[in-house]
Structure 1
Amino acid sequence: MLTQTSPMLADGTKIADLVLPATREVQMRVLSDPEIYELEMERIFGKIWNFLGHESEIPNSGDFVVRDMGSDQVIISRDKAGEVHVMLNVCPHRGMRVSVLDGGNTQIHKCIYHGWAFRPNGDFIGAPVEKECMHGKMMCKEELGLKKARVTLYGGLIFATWNIEGPSFEDFLGDAKWYYDMLFKRSDRGLEVLGPPQRFVVRANWKAAGEQSAADGFHTLTLHRWLGEVGNYAKKNEDGTSADLSPEMYGVEISSPHGHALRCIDLARKISRLTGLDPKELSVQQKLDALPPAGMHKDMVEQLARNLSPEQLQVLTTMPPQVGGIFPNVLFGFVYIPQPDGSVLGSLTLHAYVPRGPDKLEFVNWILAEKDAPQELRERILKQTIQLFGTSGMVEQDDSDTWPHITLSAKGAMGKKQTLKYQAVYETGAPEGWPGPGMVNEGFTKDDTQWHWWMYWRELMTSEV
């Protein structure tokens, strides 16, 4: 039974007790319990800003794609004025899905059941045989449109929420926006998608992937240890053994009270190894020229100063954000990929872990490129990002193998009583002279970013409805 004053599950467990602040533990039942899952659809996905795609997926009037906000399917469309709209894909007449396609182009969304028709902005047009007034006279046409979400575009990314009077998108991002701007709003013309997103289903609870996206760097040492052993990623010691990946675990991590997270990784090592230059002797501009941000061509570097502050450029050339997440279910990767010829290629990817039930998620992967990037660079980014971070990519084969095992463990009679532990705590604070906002710590990666992800989950799940 759920009440506004004391949220409680059917067995008497308080939702607040699923996350234990004193010991930084989370009960494993949260990764399998159907009752918890249903509450998440209402209290998290029904309230916060959901990432749905990129506006370059619907460039023309009448273009639309169908996506999901938690357990609800929505239509994302562009109208004749160029505005982007997000509408519940449920016909208000008999509940049929208005669109049964993944996407397309139309100026009229028509339900196949009884023919009710809607404009790209969701407004009701009418029903067949208009003289018979088959939509009735009890409600006016203005009341019979598709349910509309509140929409915002951020660097071309489409976000929407059902919480029409709730916090603004900027409030939702908070201090994390300062860092996200370095990724999504760094160039004059911005980013665009390289084709439709890849999609596949994983038999796992969405939070197993979602909390990892909150900047879990530690798993790279073991789950992705091949990065130091094979191919262009191999680093060999003088005796021929594989080099230790642990130096890559040092950097700066940014936490957020809203569960957003970023891992900022030292750029000096890459500049030294790839160019032979001493980063300490280089200016900000010289560092940008020596190693442009991941995904940018050297000819685009001049755009950075027009779109970012000097303080942001300082971070971008020392500890640039490379991986992290946007609460609750988005992972981004703007990473440097070493090439056989000693050069570096950037990879730009966004993952969404869309809930499909207590033990199922849909992995959706967008690959991005700068609109101003040369075609040859875009093709290389697409190819290498698919190989690494695509639905069959080398990295994602590792990650997507663990989530089902974790979900199965959480179903066990004894397993669901165990706890996830986030007890590796930063004791450092921000580096001296760090210009950016937020909860900032430096050093070897710890559990703080993921723990703050769970604390915001707890806050939303226990808030009054």
Structure 2
Amino acid sequence: MLTNTSTTLSDGTRIDDLIAPATREVQMRVLSDPELYELEMERIFGKTWLLLGHESELPNDGDFVVRDMGSDSVIVTRTKGAIAVNLNVCPHRGMRVATTDCGNTQIHKCNYHGWAFRPNGDFIGAPVEREQMHGKILCKEQLGLQKARVTLYGGLIFATWNLDGPSFEEFLGDTKWYFDILFQRSDRGLEVLGPPQRFMVRANWKTAGEQSAADGFHTLTLHRWLGEVGNYAKKDDKKEAGAANDLSPEMIGVEISSPHGHALRCIDLARKFVALTGMDSSKLTLDEKLNALPPPGVSKDMVPQLKRNLSEDQLKVLVSMPPQVGGIFPNILFAFVYIPQGDGSVLGLTLVHAYVPRGPDKLEFVNWILCERDTPPELREKMLEQSIQLFGTSGMVEQDDSDTWPHMTIAAKGAQGKKQTLKYQAMFETGAPAGWPGPGIVNEGFTKDDTQWHWWLYWHELMTAKQA
């Protein structure tokens, strides 16, 4: 039987043998195995920093939402201006303390035996205080809800059960330099456009998680319609038939990998400058580029904020090869994308997804739609509408992806299917572009598999790590 310290499954298979570093292959068994899933809840979701929402979802003292850290329900609360995250399990007899998705309260009370807790998780007391119904063996300070370690990053709420582990900055490592370009670029930061959209997908969480590690290749086929439909279609009668719908030029750029599995796809803006502004970006100054084509979600009058919050090197990346899609290990995808409009303008959309495990063959898709706090009202409405059309519960992009992941999960259950391998053998051989100012594992050119392979290497590192 698999134990907390074991790296061997019950049938004798070693976790080490599920990944072949020499050929960059991963056995498909990893997408369905219940033993692996249980171990992931301990070694990955019990150790890493996990996204739970955005602080703008909790504007008032006492506001709370119920979210999940792996297989554990947690209460995320604003209390005295800070954000607290507590395990949603009463330490008395194991009942859920909060049984609604959200609300506002200064006292969380378990409806089973009435134990009460402050928003920060501290134990207040039990009914019939004179009888000491909480007992005399443990003091009140020992009877509070289990507390997670919490940090805010760009308003995003991250938490971990690993109280003595790496800080969130250490977890991001070199990729923080790039994520700051997206999440730390304005004076007042981001806020949510309403509560997150949520839906279930009958698929293993890793099918979505590893794709979020900057898989650009699937866009050419699974999302081919992006070059064929409506405002997203490329129209050029001078080209040979079919060339106008070719998405391959969009696959060229810079990709950032991380030893911790984080990834970013930075896409060349030169073509967009010509298509959307009619200008040659190589002949423009940094200021001219910012004003001609502000980044997604930023209006022209907000451009001075970018210069206050980002370094010159970060601004250079933002106007030439900005991060547009990617992920944070283990289960987060972000999208800061340019969407062409019918009138020739461009609209920026900002979204963050989390793929929450719900079992070996089920995940909950959680989609936050964000905008800068200083975004004008009319622009907010457009961003919300088009985000829902493309990336929401009924979004055209999500319909593609959420159809693929269940097929992979089902195939991984087959007697022969589970022995097949996921292959990540398209490798960069380029390195960073000349003069590239940012840190990290950087490669330029047509999209490859390196970012996803680094995702699996970190999965493997966590799953085989010695346990205390």
Fold-level similarity (TM above 0.5): yes
2:378 to 376, 379, 385: 376
Query: What residue in structure 2 maps to residue 304 of structure 1?
Result: 306
- Give the secondary structure class of the aligned counterpart of 2:255: strand
Query: What residue in structure 2 maps to residue 98 of structure 1?
Result: 97
Q: Is the 8 A contact 2:4 2:39 kept in 1?
A: no
Matches of 2:231 and 2:20, distance apart in 1:
42
- What amino acid is the match of 2:235? K
Matches of 2:339 and 2:236, distance apart in 1:
20
Matches of 1:375 and 1:53, distance apart in 2:
22
Deviation at 1:352, TM superposition (A): 0.4
Query: What residue in structure 1 maps to residue 159 of structure 2?
Result: 160
- Give the secondary structure class of the aligned counterpart of 1:219: helix
Query: What residue in structure 2 maps to residue 196 of structure 1?
Result: 195
Aligned Cα root-mean-square deviation (Å): 0.9
Query: What residue in structure 2 maps to residue 16 of structure 1?
Result: 16
Query: What residue in structure 2 maps to residue 236 of structure 1?
Result: 235
1:41 equivalenced with 2:41 (yes/no): yes
- Give the secondary structure class of the aligned counterpart of 2:418: helix
1:344-395 Cα offsets, whole Å, 9 max, x none, are 0001000000000000000000000000010111111000000000011010
Matches of 1:35 and 1:13, distance apart in 2:
11
1:344 equivalenced with 2:346 (yes/no): yes
Query: What residue in structure 2 maps to residue 179 of structure 1?
Result: 178
Q: Is the 8 A contact 1:4 1:464 kept in 2?
A: no
1:201-248 Cα offsets, whole Å, 9 max, x none, are 000000000000000000000000001111001113325644311000
Where does 1:249-268 land on structure 2 (aligned, <5 Å)? 249-268=251-270
Matches of 1:18 and 1:172, distance apart in 2:
25
**Alpha-carbon spacing, 1:100–1:3, altered in 2? closer, same or farther (3 Å):** closer
Matches of 1:97 and 1:364, distance apart in 2:
22
Query: What residue in structure 1 maps to residue 464 of structure 2?
Result: 462
Query: What residue in structure 2 maps to residue 143 of structure 1?
Result: 142
1:411-431 Cα offsets, whole Å, 9 max, x none, are 000000000000000000000
Q: Is the 8 A contact 1:6 1:14 kept in 2?
A: no
1:28-78 Cα offsets, whole Å, 9 max, x none, are 000000000000000000011111100000111000000000000000001
- Bigger shift: residues 230-239 or 8-17: 230-239
- What amino acid is the match of 2:13? T
Matches of 1:185 and 1:299, distance apart in 2:
17
Matches of 2:103 and 2:224, distance apart in 1:
42
Query: What residue in structure 2 maps to residue 430 of structure 1?
Result: 432
Matches of 1:97 and 1:125, distance apart in 2:
17
Q: Is the 8 A contact 2:185 2:310 kept in 1?
A: yes
Q: Is the 8 A contact 2:56 2:192 kept in 1?
A: yes
- Give the secondary structure class of the aligned counterpart of 2:211: coil
1:84-139 Cα offsets, whole Å, 9 max, x none, are 00000000000000000001000000000000000000000000111111001110
**Alpha-carbon spacing, 1:4–1:142, altered in 2? closer, same or farther (3 Å):** closer
- Give the secondary structure class of the aligned counterpart of 1:178: helix
Q: Is the 8 A contact 1:349 1:366 kept in 2?
A: yes
Matches of 2:158 and 2:428, distance apart in 1:
32
Matches of 1:122 and 1:110, distance apart in 2:
11
- Give the secondary structure class of the aligned counterpart of 1:223: coil
Matches of 1:210 and 1:124, distance apart in 2:
36
Q: Is the 8 A contact 2:117 2:144 kept in 1?
A: yes
User: Which consecutive residues of structure 1, in runs of 5 or more, have no partner in the other structure?
Assistant: none
Query: What residue in structure 2 maps to residue 53 of structure 1?
Result: 53
What number of residue pairs does the alignment pair up?
464
1:252-303 Cα offsets, whole Å, 9 max, x none, are 0000000000000011111111111111110111000000010111100010
Deviation at 1:3, TM superposition (A): 6.0
User: Which consecutive residues of structure 2, in runs of 5 or more, have no partner in the other structure?
Assistant: none
Matches of 2:433 and 2:119, distance apart in 1:
49
Query: What residue in structure 2 maps to residue 388 of structure 1?
Result: 390
Q: Is the 8 A contact 1:23 1:423 kept in 2?
A: yes
1:117 equivalenced with 2:119 (yes/no): no
Matches of 1:186 and 1:232, distance apart in 2:
28
- Give the secondary structure class of the aligned counterpart of 1:317: helix
- What amino acid is the match of 1:56? S
Deviation at 1:6, TM superposition (A): 5.8
Query: What residue in structure 2 maps to residue 421 of structure 1?
Result: 423
- Give the secondary structure class of the aligned counterpart of 2:141: helix
**Alpha-carbon spacing, 1:4–1:198, altered in 2? closer, same or farther (3 Å):** closer
Deviation at 1:2, TM superposition (A): 4.2
Matches of 2:383 and 2:225, distance apart in 1:
21
Query: What residue in structure 1 maps to residue 69 of structure 2?
Result: 69
- What amino acid is the match of 2:289? K
- What amino acid is the match of 1:26? V
Matches of 1:301 and 1:389, distance apart in 2:
26
Query: What residue in structure 2 maps to residue 451 of structure 1?
Result: 453
* TM-score normalised according to structure 1 size: 0.99
Matches of 1:345 and 1:380, distance apart in 2:
8
- What amino acid is the match of 1:60? N
- What amino acid is the match of 1:209? A
Query: What residue in structure 2 maps to residue 405 of structure 1?
Result: 407
1:224 equivalenced with 2:226 (yes/no): no
1:281 to 253, 260, 283: 283
- What amino acid is the match of 2:144? G
- What amino acid is the match of 1:197? P
